[in-house]
A and B are shown apart, each in its own frame.
Chain A
């Protein structure tokens, strides 16, 4: 399990890497080219040396598809987080919310956070880790729109938010948008949308058209890599929807920095029980 965290911390996912290379090839702005060139060089050093991509190794969220929530899986993930902190290493980021006291190993109340979903196949467990830096997470937004506002107000809100964010979330970003549900669900969906690969589309036609329009509008603004101007402000936009209360229209926006650090693995339940009893190897 430490290896899953290591993979997310030290390597850019393949879909994101292709999008970054494509951005560099097609960028004309000189400052943007210098920026993207440095980014690609740095990614290569991290890959070769097995070093974290960014000093902010983020806060750690696991999305687990399993038979059901389980204390033993949570324990395996906590142990892996503490071990990864010294072995990868990860920066100890997590602090007590009021005093700011650093726990030193990235563990704490609801850290790492685990989100549970039903398994696709019985007997198998799918684990996805998301490492989210504060730079991009601090730009997350939620708005409770008026239900009669319509799609154009949603679009304007999202693009406006990206323009206001400027260089802070480390563009070119991946943008996740959650529409509908209640306030918490819209925010949750916006972040979960970041897990869907670049190149994928929402199966619903109206939603996938919205994804296309948003990406085009965002990149027409010219905010560019690191907010210094250029063609590529975002690499991709994913939208996820939920039915909403007729009197409510919540919209959440999350941004993933250009590294979009995520990694997934599938293990069997028997492999998991091996991890529970072992205290060292393989966990």
Chain B
């Protein structure tokens, strides 16, 4: 379990060096996007179009922040992760198409994303769910907000972060998953438990 500081854009080497249980703090530009934004990115791809922003080397944060608009800028008040599993149907293709190097969220993702992380050189990091005020403090600036037409929680947020964390490496670029380890052990224990009185 090492503690590391990383900055976006991330290189493949940055990410390949990460091991399960490493604790990372991340600085630089990231993109907060969830269900609708993922769906829309792939609809654009299917229509032969490009999104109005770059994702190469960046981190996608599964988050629909709670913010307050003050004149022409946003103040982020709470910005914890949302459940990543909902993005499983979109993420593998998005990572491949756009060169995303890190996914940040909670609860982990499925086998297709795990394979994509290994093949492309990307990592999934968990950030504690509900540590929303702490995470909001690491967001230094909202640079832009796109696609607000599906409602504020579903918009794409371009964020400048400083020492965002603790990010816990939970699915690495070598096919390992902390969630799989924990679940496999739990299932083993479960099968040996005797129930009833």
Contact = CB atoms under 8 A, between A and B. Distances in A.
A93 interface: yes
Tell me what chain B mostly uses at the interface: helix, strand, loop, or mixed.
Answer: mixed
B151 A95 contact: yes
Nearest to A49: B133
Interface string B67-92: 01000000001111011010000000
A143 interface: no
B107 A93 contact: no
Interface in B40-61: none
B111 interface: no
Interface stretch (B11-19, B95-103, B113-121, B182-190): B182-190
A227 interface: yes
Contacts of B64: 55-56, 91
Contacts of A46: 78, 132-133
Interface residues of A, number: 60
B193 A42 contact: no
Interface string B152-183: 11000000000001101010000000110111
A223 B182 contact: yes
B66 A167 contact: no
Given A92-B152, A159-B193, A54 B186 contact: no
Interface of B: 1, 21, 23, 36, 63-66, 68, 77-80, 82-83, 85, 106-108, 126, 128-137, 150-153, 165-166, 168, 170, 178-179, 181-183, 185-187, 189-190, 193, 195-197
Interface of A: 30-31, 34-35, 38-39, 41-43, 45-46, 49, 51-57, 89-93, 95, 100, 102, 104, 134-135, 138, 150-153, 155-156, 159-160, 163, 166-168, 170, 209, 213, 217, 220-229, 257-259
